[in-house]
Chain A
């Protein structure tokens, strides 16, 4: 690429670009900032406009100059090459992101020691969305099946805990695997009729499925309490409850260990369990992608006819993607319910599906690290910027538009580590982003 030929810095080009940017700024900001209404007349505030334009021009000029330096050129190249699809890493490639996993674990372990319960709550939510993102990533990112009703499986997990507790007296630990299985079965059941569908049609049917589940939860008053919702139980620590007083004369956690009652302990516990589950799911996903079924998902996404010509059982492949994706959402739902202590149908609207899809798209279809980062950005950021929370949808919109321009394939490029040929046989010039 062009970086090999050192180019001179072209000041004139930068000046022209700066003037153009100034003109655009004048058109955009002139009427908004420069004209201030006062009663029925208006004042012209030309100095403010001049300042804004000056800042824009200076900024554009500096940016333009910077982008002509070798470092800037490299950044530009990074943007250009993103359009070229999946980035394939050499098989013996040691990811530069490798240190991220120990780092994440270190942060996760350290977090409870210096966080308050509010921050912890935000992180729990973030982790729940990581689970959801990972699950949907299998369906959409890997298998290429656009599922707009993913929230249904999340709801099944959450209501699984609430209903199981209410009617069958089941606790968190019993429901956790059951919810994964139930949601997985639901995924399988949804999978069957949509096997022949692709793209838009698949999206519409799954969207409908998501709404059906929500409407059932909302309207089956006698079973689910409808819009009033239902309580969900907390997890127990080997049978010890986290409440101030245990039910049925049991010993609560704090008394058993002889420590003072702290209402936040339960959140720390949920956090710890959730983190372990996320790690397990990350690991399982990592393994699955390398196994034949993972490769079959990707093959199906890339060319269904080719898959058929290899005798690949596309029914099984699609169903397994739906099932595994759904069961991950079921797990997430259980954590959501136990963390909130309460579930109602408003948590499972289409917006939630869209949010999860946004996580997958932003993260880079098929990329695990990308999904983890995107999940935190999209759930934690609005929480931390409380005042900005109402603009969340706007924020999404802007992010999406920017992404489509600069990162059409997601934050992190999908990079698969190649197959298993001999070590050291291949050399690469290109490096990962």
Chain B
């Protein structure tokens, strides 16, 4: 369980002249839940997207299961076991829940679609109730569940989640984190980007804190929860 499933080495990413990531190094072991916290504009979303090669890293290396994927196509990455639920959910508004889930199978083909869809409905019973509802008409929480389920439809080994708690009521956030915990228990490796540091750190085995495109701190979830700097910056300083 200690073999890293993914390893970033000295990653540099630019948007034109702006350097969004500055020599970021981190690793995630198989079966671990790791979170990345940081304030707005720290570069968290950029980090997630650059694992998918969009934007491409200008320097450094991304190793996935020992293979260098820094320059592989997004399609290759998606079809080899990395899935992500993007920031802001981004479900397909005019498609139904089922169709959204089916879209999630695009990287691997739909041979397991029916079976996997059933698994998703077990994980998120809410989605089953709404299976034929169009995504745009669902609540934010339901859309977030759908986005996570859609990502899971490609049978990933590594799940990347960008701010699943964005704009959700505390009770819904709790539900979603409970589901993530369940998911983690099944052995799924989860990399979680969050503003909601409290929830994220409680869920995670380890965490990284990012400031201005650099990793500032790292430690276990518990360590960071009591860390003075983290408490002041991300936990409301109490």
Q: Quick check: A421 and B117 within 8 Å, CB to CB?
A: yes
Is the CB–CB distance between A88 and B90 below 8 Å? no
User: What is the minimal beta-carbon distance from B56 to any residue of chain A, in angstroms?
Assistant: 13
A304 to chain B, nearest CB (A): 9
Q: Does B84 contact A (CB under 8 A)?
A: yes
Task: Assess whether B202 is interfacial by the CB under 8 Å rule.
Answer: no
**Which residue of chain B has the shortest Cβ distance to A304 in the bound complex?**
B90
Choose among A292, A299, A419, A421 the residue that contacts B92 (Cβ–Cβ < 8 A): A299
Give residues 289-316 of A contacting B (CB, 8 Å): 292, 295-296, 298-299, 302-303, 305-306, 308-313
In the complex, the answer to whether B86 meets A309 with C-beta atoms within 8 Å is: yes
Q: Within residues 188 to 236 of chain A, which ones have a CB less than 8 A from any CB in chain B?
A: none
Question: Cβ of B214 < 8 Å from any Cβ of A?
Answer: no
Q: Given A421-B114, A426-B131, do A306 and B91 touch, yes or no (CB 8 Å)?
A: yes
Tell whether A100 is near chain B: CB-to-CB under 8 Å: no
Contact mask for chain A residues 409-432; partner B; CB cutoff 8 A; 1 contact, 0 none: 000000010111110001010000
Most chain B beta-carbon contacts within 10 A, residue among A299, A313, A416, A419: A419
> Could you tell me if B90 and A306 are in contact, using CB atoms closer than 8 angstroms?
yes
**Chain B residue at smallest Cβ distance from A90:** B132
Q: How far, in angstroms, from A408 to B130 measured CA to CA in the complex? A: 26
Q: Verify B136–A311 contact, CB threshold 8 A.
A: no
Q: Is the CB of B180 closer than 8 A to any CB of chain A? A: no
User: A-facing mask of B81-93, CB < 8 A → 1, else 0?
Assistant: 0011110001111
Q: How far is the CA of A309 from the CA of B52 in the complex (A)?
A: 7
Cross-interface CB contact of B132 among A292, A303, A418, A422, cutoff 8 Å: A418
| Stretch of B36-44, B99-107, B192-200 with 4 or more beta carbons under 8 angstroms from chain A | B99-107
For A421, the chain B residues whose CB sits under 8 A away are 98, 114, 117, 131
Which residue in B84, B113, B136 is a CB contact (below 8 Å) of A309? Answer: B84
Is B74 positioned at the interface, with any CB of A under 8 Å from its CB? Answer: yes
Q: Which residues of A contact B132 (CB under 8 A)?
A: 88, 90, 418, 426, 428
Distance, CA A292 to CA B94, complexed state (A): 17
What residues of A have a CB within 8 angstroms of the CB of B136 in the complex? 85
Contact A85 B106 (CB under 8 A): no
Name the A residues within 8 Å of B113 (CB-CB): 419-420
CB distance from A307 to the nearest CB of B (A): 9
B222 contacts chain A at the CB level, 8 A cutoff: no
A426 to B113, CA, bound (A): 17
Is B154 at the interface (CB under 8 A from chain A)?
yes
A302 engages B92 (CB within 8 Å): yes
Whether B106 contacts A418 by the Cβ 8 Å rule is no
Q: Are A85 and B94 in contact (CB under 8 A)?
A: yes
The answer to whether the Cβ of A86 comes within 8 Å of any Cβ in the partner chain is: yes
**Which of A299, A305, A308, A420 lies in contact with B103, CB distance below 8 A?**
A299
Q: A418 contacts which chain B residues (CB < 8 A)?
A: 96, 98-99, 132
The reply on B174 being an interface residue by CB < 8 A is no
Q: Is the CB of A419 within 8 A of B102?
A: yes
Report Cα–Cα, A78/B143, bound state, in Å: 28
Name the one of A292, A313, A419 contacting B98, with C-beta atoms under 8 angstroms: A419
Give A115 Cβ to nearest chain B Cβ, in Å: 41
A85 & B134 in contact (Cβ 8 Å cutoff): yes
**Distance, CA A81 to CA B198, complexed state (A):** 43
A311 touches which one: B74, B109, B117 (CB < 8 A)? B74
- Chain A residue contacts of B227, Cβ below 8 A: none
Check B19 for interface membership: any CB of A closer than 8 A.
Answer: no
User: B96, B99, B134, B154: which contacts A310 (Cβ < 8 A)?
Assistant: B154
Q: Is B73 part of the contact surface with A, judged by Cβ < 8 Å? A: yes
Could you tell me if B92 and A306 are in contact, using CB atoms closer than 8 angstroms? yes
Q: Please determine whether A88 and B114 come into contact, CB atoms closer than 8 angstroms.
A: no
A358–B154 Cα gap in the complex (Å)? 39
Asked whether B175 is an interface residue with its Cβ less than 8 Å from the other chain, the reply is no
Whether, in the assembled complex, B77 has its beta carbon less than 8 Å from a beta carbon of chain A, the answer is yes
Chain A minimum-CB-distance residue to B99:
A419
Q: For residue B91, which residue of chain A has the nearest CB? A: A306
**Chain A residue contacts of B91, Cβ below 8 A:** 303, 306
Residue-by-residue, is A25-63 near B (CB-CB < 8 Å gives 1, otherwise 0)?
000000000000000000000000000000000000000
- In the complex, the answer to whether B96 meets A309 with C-beta atoms within 8 Å is no
1/0 per residue A297-341: CB within 8 Å of B? Answer: 011001101101111110000000000000000000000000000
A302 to B99, CA, bound (A): 12
Chain B residues, Cβ within 8 Å of A416: 99
* Cα of A180 to Cα of B23 in the assembled complex, Å: 50
Q: In the assembly, what is the distance between CA of A310 and CA of B83, in Å? A: 7
Alpha-carbon separation in the docked complex, A191 to B193 (Å): 35
Residues B192-236 near A (CB distance < 8 A): none
Chain B residues whose CB sits within 8 angstroms of the CB of A295 once the complex forms: 99, 102-103, 106
Given A313-B73, A420-B113, A303 and B93 contact (CB-CB distance below 8 Å): yes
Bound CA–CA A88/B54 (angstroms): 32
CA distance A428 to B86 in the complex (A): 32
List B contacts of A306 (CB < 8 A).
86, 90-92
Asked if B95 is an interface residue, CB under 8 A from chain A, the answer is: yes
B74 in complex: contacting residue of A90, A313, A420, A426, CB < 8 Å: A313
> Is there contact, CB below 8 Å, between B90 and A309?
yes
Q: A310-B107, A311-B78, A416-B99 provided; 13 other pairs, C-beta below 8 A?
A: A86-B94, A90-B132, A302-B92, A306-B86, A308-B49, A309-B49, A310-B83, A311-B79, A312-B74, A313-B73, A418-B96, A419-B101, A420-B113
| Chain B contacts to A: CB under 8 angstroms | 49, 52, 54, 73-79, 83-86, 90-96, 98-99, 101-104, 106-107, 109-110, 113-114, 117, 131-132, 134, 136, 150, 154
Can you show 30 pairs from A to B with CB atoms below 8 A apart?
A85-B93, A88-B95, A90-B132, A292-B110, A295-B99, A296-B106, A298-B94, A299-B92, A299-B95, A302-B92, A302-B94, A303-B90, A303-B91, A303-B92, A305-B90, A308-B49, A308-B52, A308-B86, A309-B84, A309-B86, A310-B106, A311-B77, A311-B78, A418-B98, A419-B99, A419-B101, A420-B110, A421-B131, A422-B114, A426-B131
